[in-house]
Structure 1
Amino acid sequence: MRLITSAALLALFGFAAVASSQPAEIPVEEVFEPDEGPDAPPQFLLKTKFLESENTYPPIIYNTQSTNLEITLQNEEDSEAIVQVAGGALFEIGNDTAIENITAVRVGPLAVAPHTTQTVGYNFVLDREPKDYFLRVGLLIEYEGQLVQYLGYNSTITVQDPPLSYFDPQMIFLYIILSGIFGVGGYFVYNNYVKSYLTPKKTSGKKRAKSATPVTPSNTTAETTGTDTKGYDESWIPEHHLRSKSPKPKMTKKTKKNTK
């Protein structure tokens, strides 16, 4: 068996068929009905399953999300078949030119024994305008030294934007960013505009009265004039005047007791 490089296999993989101008009514799973005779191509049966849209036709593909396929190959020949590459192409409905070649991926060599079945996993991501498109997905199979391309899906798909999910990591990150912005903005508005209206203003000119101890007039006079309690300063008055003014002690008369 000859060896074929990955680059050569990917270069050989392509879709030359023309896209149908009308959407198919049902998915095309049995993509090849071989002619009888010695020149008939190998009898392989391919079926494709869209794992996220199994029971929907046309299958729904969400933008920016991985679309996972299972391509099943049934080998009806008496010789071994080897699956090498999986890939596809996207078309506008009614247009024979591919608008996007879906990434071809080397999935082999995967040997499929005679009269047995093997399943190949394949996934891709689209980011297109939401509407219907025509999709071709297939396998590049090596059989008896020759490479043959077989289609596993050849029909319509519907591309849609993904539904919003509140628990999506991107949405959660967006919530955190928005919460931070609104939090900072709210604090700024409150601190600069709202707080001044809510805080009661202090009345100016009214001071709390200080407690004062009562002061007698005599104490006050003595402190301010530097005099004693008499009301005047005696230091400059001559001493003999002070003596004359000093009160004389009162004399009490003694009475004689009568003795008998």
Structure 2
Amino acid sequence: MRLGILATLLSAVALVFAQEEGETERVLETNPEFAVGASAQWPESNPFGHVVNGERNTLSVLVENKSDKNVTLLTIGGSIHQPDTDKLLKNLTTLTYGIDLLEGVKLQLPYSFHSEFKTGDHRLNLWLEHLTDNEKYRVQVLDSIITVVEPEGSLFDFKLLITYLITAGFLGGLGYVAYLSFAPQPKSRPKKSKISEPVEVTATGAGGYQEEWIPAHHIKKPKKATGSRPTSGDELSGGETSGAESSGKKIRKRKIWMGSSYGFVNRRRQFYLILFWRFHILFLLNRASLALFISVI
């Protein structure tokens, strides 16, 4: 018994709330005493009323309060329908204003919507809602056939050029990386250091040199007997000469090897630095182009 009474009370309360919501959300289609007059027109740059896909299309809505009552403009909205069957395709953007309309004053307001429809003829329906004597009314602003077209292509289209630049930069960067990764790099040969030739110095003088000032053992050298073995001094001097020559060759080879290895490491470091900066610059250019493209859109 108690459950039945409780269910009855809940249903009654729900019915009361539903009636209140229906009263608050009720919109009257009639315009009392033609309190508000409204019309719409296309801009001078679009006299035929073409709607371009992918762009923002704008109309001018002219509103006038023709009564002596307090009228508040609430919203302006629209919808797209099929011209033959009047089937709803899409509701357009609803703009909220909340402006008080003075008596006898005409107010021109812009209304914009974005188009992404199939090309051809469609029916455009615009309306506005206003509040008069605490009642909400809807007034038809425009009901006409429009033609949806695609944007005209141009070589000097800014958006298209930015898209091409971003694509070309991305493909160029990929091609450069592929070239550096798979193409063989030319090997640079180390340059051999030129050995300076000994310069012969000749003593110049009028009378030559005086032998009395030179020791005798420096002037006259003892003759070696034929078939005689070299002395230990000769062997030592020959060994010293051969050792000096071999050490000089080793030092020269070591310098050449160190120079070539240092040059290889230096070239590799330069290559990675150049590659890093190119990628960094390419990334900054792509990011700037993308930001500019988004701001233009």
Question: What percent identity do the matched residue pairs reach?
Answer: 15
SS across alignment from 2:174: helix
Residue of structure 1 in register with 2:37 after alignment = 45
Residue of structure 1 in register with 2:47 after alignment = 56
Q: What TM-score, normalized by structure 2, do the two folds share?
A: 0.49
What is the one-letter code of the residue matched to 1:142? L
Shift in Å, 1:66: 1.9
Task: Establish whether residue 80 from structure 1 lines up as the match of residue 75 from structure 2.
Answer: no
Q: Which runs of 5+ in 1 are unaligned?
A: 1-6, 17-31, 35-39, 203-209, 214-227, 237-260
Aligned pairs (5 A) from 1:1-260: 41-51=33-43, 54-57=45-48, 59-108=49-98, 110-164=99-153, 166-169=156-159, 171-185=161-175, 188-189=178-179, 192=182, 230-233=225-228
Shift in Å, 1:159: 1.8
CA distance in 2, matches of 1:12, 1:118: 26
Shift in Å, 1:112: 1.6
Any idea what the Cα deviations from partners look like across 1:114-171, whole Å, max 9, x if unmatched? Answer: 2221122322212112222110111112223322211221101222233346453464
Choose between structure 1 and 2 for higher RCO, CA contacts under 8 A separated by at least 6 residues.
1
Pair 1:46–1:231, CA change in 2 (3 A): farther
Higher share of residues assigned helix: 2
Q: What TM-score, normalized by structure 1, do the two folds share?
A: 0.55
CA distance in 2, matches of 1:85, 1:185: 54
Pair 1:184–1:230, CA change in 2 (3 A): farther
Pair 1:11–1:123, CA change in 2 (3 A): farther
SS across alignment from 1:70: strand
What is the one-letter code of the residue matched to 1:86? I
What is the one-letter code of the residue matched to 1:176? I
Pair 1:190–1:88, CA change in 2 (3 A): same
Pair 1:41–1:183, CA change in 2 (3 A): same
- In 2, are the aligned partners of 1:13 and 1:104 still within 8 Å (CA)? no
**What value does the CA root-mean-square deviation take over the aligned residues?**
4.3
Any runs of at least 4 consecutive aligned residues in structure 1 with deviations exceeding 6 A, and if so which? 210-213
Q: Which runs of 5+ in 2 are unaligned?
A: 1-20, 190-194, 199-222, 232-297
Between the two proteins, the alignment pairs up a number of residues equal to: 184
Higher Rg = 1
CA distance in 2, matches of 1:117, 1:89: 24
CA distance in 2, matches of 1:13, 1:69: 24
- In 2, are the aligned partners of 1:65 and 1:126 still within 8 Å (CA)? yes
CA distance in 2, matches of 1:41, 1:93: 31
